[in-house]
Amino acid sequence: MSKIKVMDDILANKIAAGEVVEKTMNVVKELVENALDAEATDIKIELVDSGVKKIEVSDNGIGMDKEDAQNAFLRHATSKLKTLDDLFNIDTLGFRGEALPSIAAVSLVELKTTNGKVGTKITLDGGKVLKVENSDLAKGTTIVVTNLFYNTPVRLKYLKNLYIELANITDYVNKMALANPNVKFTLINNDKTLLATPGDGNLLKVIYEIYGGEVAKKMIEVNEEDEDYIISGYISYPEVAKSTRNSMITFVNGRLIRNNTLNRKIIEAYHTYIPKDKAPIVVLNIETDPILIDINIHPTKMDIKFSKDRELYTLIEKAISKKLEKLLLIPSVPVRDSESIEDVDDSIKVELPQEDEEKEENLEYEKLSFDFDVNENEESYEEKVEDEARIKKLYPKGIVHMTYIIAENEDGMYVIDQHAAAERINYEKYLKAMSEKTNTVIDPLIPIKIELPANEMIMVREHLDLLEEIGIKTEEFGSNTFIVRSHPTWFIEGYEKESLRKIFELVATKEEFSKEKFIEKTAITLACRMSIKANDYISIEDMEYLLDRLRECNNPFTCPHGRPTIITYTIYDLEKLFKRAME
């Protein structure tokens, strides 16, 4: 008796679902792409419990007749490919014919659709058609998916928590809204609207809805083309660069893609404008002949290959570089204006009083400093440090290249990197402050407003208790804004908003969250950003203060990134170099 049997359709669809439907976001993705392929201009996504209990996607597209509606749930049934040649000339988002049968195989599905002549309603359970009946003639298609993975409990077990699932969905819908500014997108979870775009074709308005006004004001429109490609969209000013590449969003013919080489080329175009560990906010659409690309690589259809990739990368670098060069074509002497403080009402601005020139000259290193509070008087402090310090007392003598402090003691000469040393001091200060159970806080006179995209709002919302533990008390203000009512006293004066932005950015990461890892990353990030830099002027008195604080550190020898803070030449080393001592 033969052992090899042909699998039945339900079993085959469950296996296919393992590739197409791994999480709730995959279901939303496939249904939204179908709606876009159906020429919808209004797409509404409604979720219950991040889509685990219910996903409903409704559109105003062209709909289907009864026969097509039934065939849509057959494996490899598609209206988008008819011949082999069509596979190499794909201009739709979907084409495999796997999505709907895969979704239906692992959930309960209800489809309502009309093409304007007849309305059809189909009910399926685990891929089996239970009922086909007539329905109303409401324009378009509505698909309701409930109890996802109810018949594959192993897969349900490996879903992330609801916050991460919702963040993934929101992130995807944000990106599709950016790819299709002419389509109105509405995303709702548990009756709360997370995104609502106007659908009027204005991409900058969509950027505003997702990232907020501060980012939208710092986006630059780009347009460039050659014989094969047309590039359009927006790139950010270097100053709003982020710590991850998640905000580097690229599309090809309206399809969201994932291409590491393309991202790398975009970052290279920002060379010298942003730090190497940062990435710009980018929303770019690449239009090209479908014959020049291959999207038939993976079921998710996000991986893509270009047949003329070198020409594309050159064009992108040219488009971005040209814009950045124009922004900075005529360098201007930087003038520090007093930073305005924004009230919760954007129309009200309170300016800080101007400082006199002498005080302003020293303001930089006063703010970006190492302001440990010393409770003991000077004598007892010196006695304490001498008992506990791992480095003997250092006496500064000067500075080289406005970066390296030269100091000495009875053992020899020392060279100290002022930025690395300040980083170590501030790192241990922030680490200690955030690790303590009680934090002294300050209530700013005017609350600080932080705008975030909806997907980042979701992640921050999950960890509001942790923020409060470290002294940051927040409340939501509108759909994409937090108001900070209080913050720790250890924030450096004048840099409170920048510190909060860095902390919120770290909280919003979709990596597996750990309180200890968060505190560590936050301490490192704030220490780096809030410390004196190379070429910052400091006086001899400031050098002495810095070196004394460095000696107090648990590890005074390296900065948080592992770079050395201090190197030494012993007296013997110096005498050998000058041939005063012979081996």
- pLDDT tens figures, 411-465: 889 999 999 999 999 988 888 888 876 668 889 888 899 998 888 888 888 888 8
CATH (domain of 253): 3.30.230.10
DSSP 561: T
Amino acid code (one letter) for 100: L
- The mean of the pLDDT values for the chain is 78
Strands 481-488 and 441-442: antiparallel
Distance CA 41, CA 183 (A): 4
pTM over 0.85: no
Please report where in the chains the tokens 């020409």 appear, as a residue: 311
Complete DSSP assignment for 507-542: HT--SPP-HHHHHHHHHHHHHHHTS--TT----HHH
Do 134 and 237 share a domain, yes or no?
Answer: no
**Last residue within a domain, chosen from 200, 229, 264:** 200
Distance CA 384, CA 411 (A): 21
CATH (domain of 415): 3.30.1370.100
CB-based contacts of 446: which residues, under 8 Å, 6+ apart? 341, 342, 343, 350
Burial of 310 (0-12, 13-18, 19+ CB in 10 A): exposed
Give residue 458's domain range: 365-570
Residue 241 lies in a domain: yes
Task: Please list the residues that pair with 30 across neighbouring strands.
Answer: none
CATH (domain of 196): 3.30.565.10
As given in the structure block, the two tokens for residue 177 are 């809204």
Of 284, 294, 293, 223, nearest to 254 by C-alpha is: 284
Do 167 and 244 share a domain, yes or no?
Answer: no
pLDDT value at position 61? 92
Do 439 and 547 share a domain, yes or no?
Answer: yes
What are the C-alpha distances in Å from 452 to residues 189, 384, 495, 504? Answer: 18, 45, 18, 9
Residue 306 lies in a domain: yes
pLDDT at residue 376 tops 70: no
Residue 434 lies in a domain: yes
What are the C-alpha distances in Å from 340 to residues 111, 293, 347, 389, 482? Answer: 53, 48, 12, 42, 18
**Last residue within a domain, chosen from 200, 229, 253:** 200
Do 145 and 50 share a domain, yes or no?
Answer: yes
- pLDDT tens figures, 219-241: 999 999 988 899 999 999 887 88
What are the C-alpha distances in Å from 71 to residues 23, 79, 97, 281, 356? Answer: 25, 10, 10, 42, 77
Of 252, 210, 299, nearest to 29 by C-alpha is: 299
Do 196 and 245 share a domain, yes or no?
Answer: no
Do 301 and 401 share a domain, yes or no?
Answer: no
Domain total in the chain? 3
Do 297 and 385 share a domain, yes or no?
Answer: no
pLDDT at residue 8 tops 60: no
What are the C-alpha distances in Å from 260 to residues 29, 246, 565? Answer: 21, 12, 35
Q: Which 3 state secondary structure label does DSSP give 24?
A: helix
Do 254 and 391 share a domain, yes or no?
Answer: no
Positive or negative, the CA dihedral 36, 39, 40, 41 is: positive
- pLDDT tens figures, 185-204: 999 999 999 999 999 999 99
Across residues 4-25, what is the average pLDDT? Answer: 58
Complete DSSP assignment for 86-99: GGGS--SS--SS-H
**Last residue within a domain, chosen from 147, 173, 200:** 200
pLDDT at residue 4 tops 80: no
Do 189 and 233 share a domain, yes or no?
Answer: no
CB-based contacts of 335: which residues, under 8 Å, 6+ apart? none
Distance CA 302, CA 256 (A): 6
Of 425, 441, 428, nearest to 543 by C-alpha is: 425
Residue 557 lies in a domain: yes
Do 155 and 301 share a domain, yes or no?
Answer: no
Amino acid code (one letter) for 408: E
Residue 335 lies in a domain: no
- pLDDT tens figures, 59-89: 999 998 888 888 888 865 454 444 444 444 4
Of 288, 290, 225, 218, nearest to 247 by C-alpha is: 218
Q: Are 208 and 200 in contact (CB under 8 A)?
A: no
Distance CA 72, CA 62 (A): 14
Do 566 and 504 share a domain, yes or no?
Answer: yes
pLDDT value at position 310? 87
Distance CA 326, CA 340 (A): 27
